[in-house]
Amino acid sequence: MPLTKKGEKIMSAMQSQYGAKKGKQVFYASANKGNITGVHKGKKVHMPGMSEHTEVQCSQGMRKKTMSMAEMGM
């Protein structure tokens, strides 16, 4: 999958720091783990059943609320 400009910049930085081969390995390991995002071009995929936790203010202080992707507008 092609890289975005952000991905190209990060890949270049990692290759200059770690060397060509090791930099590429570290880049893709970080991308696969989710440490860096937005580095690959492509359409975003909606995953049914996924939700995200969000902190909301209520009378009892801060609480976590689970919101579906649809409620978040995704």
What pLDDT score was predicted for residue 12? 96
* pLDDT band at residue 67 using 50, 70 and 90 as cut-offs: low
User: Any idea what DSSP says for residue 68?
Assistant: E
What pLDDT score was predicted for residue 7? 93
Token pair in block for residue 1: 């999958």
Q: Mean pLDDT highest for which of 8-12, 30-34, 35-39?
A: 8-12
Distance between CA atoms of residues 42 and 74, nearest Å: 16
- Would you tell me how many other CB atoms lie within 10 Å of the CB of residue 15? 16
Mean local confidence (pLDDT), 17-45: 88
pTM given for the model: 0.56
Distance between CA atoms of residues 18 and 44, nearest Å: 30
Please answer whether residues 58 and 41 qualify as being in contact, where contact means their C-beta atoms are separated by less than 8 angstroms.
no
